[in-house]
Structure 1
Amino acid sequence: MALRRCHLNPRKTLFLLCDIQEKFRPAMPLFDNMVKNVDKLTRAGKALDVPLIVTEHYPEKLGKTVAQLDVSHAKLVSGKTLFSMVTPEVTAVIKDIFSGKPEDVVLYGLESHICVEQTAIDLLEQNINVYIVADCCSSRLKQDRDLALDRLRQAGCVITTSESVIFDLVRDKNNPKFDIVRKMVNQPSVDMELTRDGSGVPAGSAKL
């Protein structure tokens, strides 16, 4: 399913933050790096008035969203047992926000090959454009994350990065929110080892 790639419009876009919970921290490679990128993206979304929905998978066992992330502006923070974020409760809140459904969803979190992937497929089946923020996603095994990103690209998702999403939402230096967002992106996003080849060397890098 190939959907039309278009510019993101804050009024027609939804951020979905998937299951970034404390219990996952020890098992996830580069977890702290991911959280820093997620924090920047989520704060930028708040500044740009993009609605946010947060899920927590089985929070009684796996805990709440990590304390480093301010999700106080979220339209919903919802526990779930489904792997997909597209639960009846989330669907109802989305319908209320958009009087129907969003044009675009920016999706990020854990784990790439389970909850993120199943959420994306459910959204694609509703003919919603899905943007997977690769530097804000992780899995316990990097191969699971990387292969999930490949599958999602083939399914019709746009695979992107946090800074790409932020600047696509801003689009113009004269945007009244530009100076607020600029301060957030002055510090580059943190490496999530997304461009490695089989040798572990960044793709395109010279081997010295």
Structure 2
Amino acid sequence: MNGIETLLKPEDCVMLLVDLQAGLGFGTESISRQVLLNNAVALAKTAVAFGVPVIATTSASKVYSGPLFPQVQAALPDVKAIERRNMNAWEDDTARGAVEATGRRRLLVAGLLTEACVSFPALSAVREGYEVFVVADACGGLTPISHELALRRLEQAGAQLTNWIQVLLEFQRDWTRHGTYEAARAIVVENGGGYGMGLAYAREMIHPG
């Protein structure tokens, strides 16, 4: 793949979070809103834990959509969302410029809505030669079928589909990497459902002889 390792490495990646806002969350029917929020927060925490630059962008925040989800903002205390007018964040000079300024060519994209404000910049970035990974379980669509069809189109265009836990595990790769172990483990315990329960149980209840 153009000399780039297949597995994701934090130092190669930049993350674009698009329109994670309540006004758009209200219309999301492809995934439970609670699950969507959990996944988006986990993805944001993962970026911070592994030093991946995050560009967050919002639209119509003062007139309809509201600010970046407070829980996502809390996970990204040093990130200020870029407000834009275009549906396609790639057509906003500030948002696109922020991605380009990182110099990184592996772009992780997540947000709302899958059919528009996620798909448009992802398709545009693919066309410009970026290797795009859509974190599908941190995206929401208007209906399950429209979400699925948007993901199919993205995949056919050359984007790759992934999910937040795979991103985290791919970044960590080896639980003996102590520099990120505690942060990665904490994210899984708090946001990883049954897998997180298992990690918590292992630490608290299983004592090697």
**Given the two structures, how large is their TM-score scaled by the length of structure 1?**
0.82
- Give matches, 1:78-157, under 5 Å: 78-86=82-90, 87-98=92-103, 102-157=104-159
Name the SS for the 2:6 alignment partner: coil
Correspondence 1:1-208 to 2 at 5 A:
6-29=6-29, 30-61=32-63, 62-69=65-72, 70=74, 71-74=76-79, 76-86=80-90, 87-98=92-103, 102-175=104-177, 176-187=179-190, 189=192
Do 1:5 and 1:158's aligned partners in 2 also have CA atoms closer than 8 Å?
Answer: no
Determine the C-alpha separation between the residues in 2 that align with 1:123 and 1:142: 24
Shift of 1:174: 2.4
Q: What count of residue pairs does the alignment treat as equivalent? A: 185
Q: What is the letter of the counterpart of residue 133 of structure 2?
A: Y
Tell me how far 1:97 sits from its aligned partner. Answer: 2.5
Q: Residue deviations 1:125-177, cap 9 Å, x none? A: 11111111111011121111111111111111111111011111111222210
- Show the counterpart of 2:198: none
Distance 1:94 1:129 in 2: 13
Structure 1 residues without counterparts, runs of 5 or longer: 191-208
SS at match of 2:78: coil
Unaligned runs of 5+ in 2: 194-209
**Take 2:14 and 2:24, find their aligned partners in 1: how far apart are those partners?**
24
**Which of the two has greater helix per residue?**
2
Task: Give the C-alpha shift of residue 184 in structure 1.
Answer: 1.1
Range moving further from structure 2, 150-159 or 26-35: 26-35
TM-score by length of 2: 0.82
Do the aligned partners of 2:38 and 2:191 also contact (CA within 8 Å) in 1?
A: no
Task: Kindly state the Cα deviation for residue 33 of structure 1 after the two structures are TM-superposed.
Answer: 1.1
Q: 1:26 deviation in Å? A: 2.5
Question: Secondary structure of 2:62's partner?
Answer: helix
Change in CA separation of 1:5 and 1:177 when aligned onto 2, cut-off 3 Å: closer
Residue type of the alignment partner of 1:19: D
Q: CA RMSD in A?
A: 1.9
Question: Any idea what SS the aligned residue of 2:24 has?
Answer: helix
- Is this contact kept in 2: 1:38–1:136, CA < 8 A? yes
